[in-house]
Amino acid sequence: MSVLVNKDSKIIVQGFTGSEGTFHAEQMIEYGTQVVGGVTPGKGGQEHLGKPVFNTVKDAVEKTAADVSIIFVPPAFAADAIMEAADAGIKVIITITEGIPVADMIKASDYIKNRDCRLIGPNCPGVITPGEAKVGIMPGFVFKKGKVGIVSKSGTLTYEAADQVVKQGLGITTAIGIGGDPIIGTTTKEAVELLMNDPETECIVMIGEIGGQLEADAARWVKENGNKKPVVGFIAGETAPKGRTMGHAGAIVGGADDTAEAKKRIMQECGIHVVNSPAEIGKKVAEVVGA
Amino acid sequence: MNLHEYQGKEILASFGVRIQRGIVAQTAAEAVAAAKRLTEETGTGWHVIKAQVHAGGRGKGGGVKLAKNLKEVEEIADAIIGMNLVTPQTSKEGKKVHQVLVAEDVYYPGDSETSEFYMSVLLNRSTGRNMIMYSTEGGMDIEEVAEKTPHLIFNEEIDPATGLLPFQARQIAFNLGLSGQAFKEMVKFVSSLYKAYESSDSSLFEINPVLKTSDDKIMAVDAKVTIDDNALYRHKDYEEMRDVREEDPIEVEARAAGLNFVNLDGNVGCMVNGAGLAMATMDLIKMAGGEPANFLDVGGTADAQRVETAFRIILKDPNVKAILVNIFGGIVRGDRVAQGIVDAYRSMGDAINVPIIVRLQGTNAELAKELIDNSGLAVHSAIEFKEAADKVQEVLQ
């Protein structure tokens, strides 16, 4: 078992023929991911990387039965791409694009709300189920198969955590990069919930950062649901100054509740194994699973 | 992108929001001319001289003053322009004032008492919708109001499918205790304010105070406006409003070089790929006994040129005693980054006068370490995150 994507997922790439889309689609195919085609408006009927190109997501879904989409469309058109995927019946929409205007995301997240789909991202590294499907931009070799699930707002910090976990002789069920924007489709809580319900996942790593309430909401949910599996948590940005955006558009301390310190305190109160040092994520995981 | 009060008011006015009128001036002489013109246009007798800097609490620092005649306009403008304004939101050194807004006096006596309200428009991150936050307690620090009298703060959340609805604007005016002409004015004020917020792709409007004048007009006396950087491509005219004098010069230079950089007060510089890992690296520096001197995300392509630019920017800060480079090679190969660092180091020669610790993990990490170790340069290399922290501690001692 795994969550969101697996070896049977049929994936299309939106923004397939662009440089980003091409590069990462190639890497995904090389990894063994079942990429069934791509979408670039106006280039329908062509072939790219040995896969068919479609004009619309609807076409692609009809012809390939795709159920997952990964979006590399430039920021100005990305929200539209998300809504197009949702309308065409794509079940999991993974948006890598960074820099989408907030107003566009307000509209897109409202549009998809009552449709049967799940948005991951935007501004995220994607989702990987090791050995089955890499739907993202992460270096595949870092992620070995195992029983630890990862939820993270950050790209390279996810790789860091996975690497540390693997070096402890453990592995990953699914790693979910939820993204660092102020508005994202799948929250920390929802991603943790998916992994909590996954029978193969025995431990969850939850990596957050300053800004917003997502980690606190997730921590409270974990507690309310009886701490069924151990959760190891880290929050980046203890040293970040108030009121400044730290790279990710959502990483900004506004009030007293969204500092690293406040989040860690809430997580601790909810029974999460919080590490203060980002160098000790793997060690802590090994400790709590008794490996 | 943050704007000055006068720029924010320009945007508000362009969408029909009533504002306290004013004219911006760079010198005392210009301020006097502005005051005369304003009197002609508005009939105002007195004038308010307001420092234009990107910081709140200007009044507390002596940056907002009332002038009762032209001589006072000149004296006050002369004193404020060029001063280092210290407010609760600036550093101890304060911010240099380059210009003032000469504004009309809107607290004139009349048939009714004036009253001040608070109003902001912003994103509610937990619902993914915009909201209007408002309070009867205007002219005060809203964080203080939230702490002491939270029941006096109200919210109106906006459905993205419909936009602000008329009943919501009425609700706001009722909650603020208004009636008659002032009520009608407030409904109009709120509607045009929200229209301005949406149309300008702003991420924050804070109007404090919103004033009800003695003749029942509703107007914005101050305006704090932040435009969503990601939407600036749709608003070239707003992009021109950027005042780089208000920003840290090193940050301006870094942005021009395409680097995501925030200047901090510490003694250990860092260069990292990815925002989350960059923050984590800053935290690790602190745990190792240092203080981070900056946040810097070099992004995915850490080639020699980019690394050199990053080194030069970090080294502009004389407090930097060491630099920690932390790159997790994913798609970008570790040995390429290592080569970039070696090349940048060689090309910079003596410009690098502090110890450098390089931690390269991920793709070709071993090869990268070898490359650094065999370069003959004074660079400490590490592979594990913990090792890097230990090395920082070592060089700081």
Are B297 and B342 within one domain? yes
Q: Which amino acid is at B243?
A: D
Are B71 and B81 within one domain? yes
Are A95 and A204 within one domain? no
Question: Rounded CA gap, B104 and B112, in Å?
Answer: 19
Q: How confident is the model at residue A291 (pLDDT cuts 50, 70, 90)?
A: low
Residue A4 domain-assigned? no
pLDDT exceeds 80 at position B331: no
**For chain B, how many residues are written?**
397
pLDDT in tens, A127-186: 999 999 999 999 999 999 999 999 999 889 999 999 999 999 999 999 999 999 999 999
Residue in chain A lying closest to B198 (CA): A103
Residue A255 domain-assigned? yes
User: Of A66, A87, A120, at which residue does a domain stop?
Assistant: A120
pLDDT exceeds 80 at position B372: yes
Which among A189, A198, A196, A194 has a CA at the least distance from the CA of A266? A189
Residues 209-228 of A with CB under 8 A from B: 209-210, 212-213, 217
Question: Rounded CA gap, A209 and B275, in Å?
Answer: 10
| CATH code, domain carrying B276 | 3.40.50.261
Q: Which two tokens stand for residue B251?
A: 């940050």
- Does A106 contact chain B (CB < 8 Å)? yes
User: Of A91, A120, A149, at which residue does a domain stop?
Assistant: A120
- Count Cβ–Cβ pairs < 8 Å, chain A vs chain B: 166
Instruction: Please tell me the predicted confidence (pLDDT) of residue A157.
Output: 94
ipTM value = 0.91
Instruction: Please tell me the predicted confidence (pLDDT) of residue A116.
Output: 95
User: Beta strand B129-135 with B115-124: parallel, antiparallel or unpaired?
Assistant: antiparallel
Residue A127 domain-assigned? no
Q: Which of B123, B262, B283 sits opposite A238 (nearest CB)?
A: B283
Residue A192 CA, chain-centre distance (Å), reads 11
pLDDT in tens, A12-26: 999 999 999 999 999
Are B356 and B270 within one domain? yes
Are A73 and A195 within one domain? no
By percentage, how much of chain B surpasses pLDDT 70? 99
Are B41 and B3 within one domain? no
Q: Are B193 and B225 in contact (CB under 8 A)?
A: no
Which among B195, B193, B203 has a CA at the least distance from the CA of B227? B203
Q: Which pTM value belongs to this model?
A: 0.93
Are B226 and B352 within one domain? no
Q: Does A17 belong to an annotated binding site? A: yes
In this prediction, residues A71-90 reach a mean pLDDT of 98
| Interface mutation target, options A156, A181, A275, chain B, most CBs of B under 10 Å | A156
Mean pLDDT over the full length of chain B: 93
Are A114 and A190 within one domain? no
Q: Are A92 and A3 in contact (CB under 8 A)?
A: no
- Any bridge partners for residue A282, and if so which? none
**Which residues in chain B are contacts of A183 at CB distance < 8 A?**
123, 125, 128
Are A153 and A109 within one domain? no
Are A146 and A99 within one domain? no
Are B10 and B59 within one domain? no
- Convert A20-56 to b/e letters by CB count within 10 Å (16 or more is b): ebbebbebbbebebbbbbbbbbeeeeeebbebbbbee
Are B136 and B241 within one domain? yes
Are A95 and A206 within one domain? no
| CATH code, domain carrying A267 | 3.40.50.261
Residues 115-174 of A with CB under 8 A from B: 137-139, 141-142, 152-160, 163-164
In this prediction, residues B106-132 reach a mean pLDDT of 95
Residue B295: domain span? 249-396
Are A97 and A151 within one domain? no
Are A150 and A217 within one domain? yes
User: Which residues touch A215 (CB under 8 Å, ≥6 apart)?
Assistant: A188, A206, A208, A233, A235, A263, A266, A267
Are B132 and B4 within one domain? yes
Question: Rounded CA gap, B390 and B69, in Å?
Answer: 65
Mean pLDDT over the full length of chain A: 95
Are A148 and A276 within one domain? yes
pLDDT in tens, A192-212: 999 999 999 999 999 999 988
pLDDT in tens, B49-61: 999 999 989 999 9
Q: How confident is the model at residue B301 (pLDDT cuts 50, 70, 90)?
A: low
Q: How confident is the model at residue A253 (pLDDT cuts 50, 70, 90)?
A: confident
Are A102 and A151 within one domain? no
Q: How far is B295 from chain A (nearest CA, A)?
A: 7
Residue A25: domain span? 11-120
Q: Which of A99, A156, A213 sits opposite B274 (nearest CB)?
A: A156
pLDDT exceeds 90 at position B147: no
Are B230 and B274 within one domain? no
Are B333 and B269 within one domain? yes
Would you state the torsion angle of the CA atoms of residues A218, A221, A226, A232, taken in this order, to the nearest 10 degrees?
A: 0
Are A55 and A162 within one domain? no
Number of structural domains chain A divides into? 2
Number of structural domains chain B divides into? 3
By percentage, how much of chain A surpasses pLDDT 90? 90
CA distances from B384 to A165, B100, B272, B295, B393 (A): 13, 53, 14, 20, 15
Are B272 and B385 within one domain? yes
The dihedral of CA B280, B286, B290, B293: what is its sign? positive
Are B238 and B256 within one domain? no
Are A82 and A210 within one domain? no
Q: How confident is the model at residue A219 (pLDDT cuts 50, 70, 90)?
A: very high
Residue A234 CA, chain-centre distance (Å), reads 16
Instruction: Please tell me the predicted confidence (pLDDT) of residue B300.
Output: 67
Q: Which two tokens stand for residue A51?
A: 């896969």
Q: How confident is the model at residue B102 (pLDDT cuts 50, 70, 90)?
A: very high
pLDDT in tens, B198-253: 999 999 999 999 999 999 999 999 999 999 999 999 999 999 999 999 999 999 99
Residue A1 domain-assigned? no
Show the 3-state SS of chain B.
Answer: CECCHHHHHHHHHHCCCCECCEEEECCHHHHHHHHHHHHHHHCCCCEEEEECCCCCCCCCCCCEEEECCHHHHHHHHHHHCCCEECCCCCCCCCEECCCEEEEECCCCCCCCCCEEEEEEEEEECCCCEEEEEEECCCCCCHHHHHHHCHHHEEEEECCCCCCCCHHHHHHHHHHCCCCHHHHHHHHHHHHHHHHHHHHCCEEEEEEEEEEECCCCCEEECCCEEEECHHHHHHCHHHHCCCCHHHCCHHHHHHHHCCCEEEECCCCEEEEECCHHHHHHHHHHHHHCCCCECEEEECCCCCCHHHHHHHHHHHHCCCCCCEEEEEEEECCCCHHHHHHHHHHHHHHHHHHCCCCEEEEEEECCHHHHHHHHHCCCCCEEEECCHHHHHHHHHHHHC
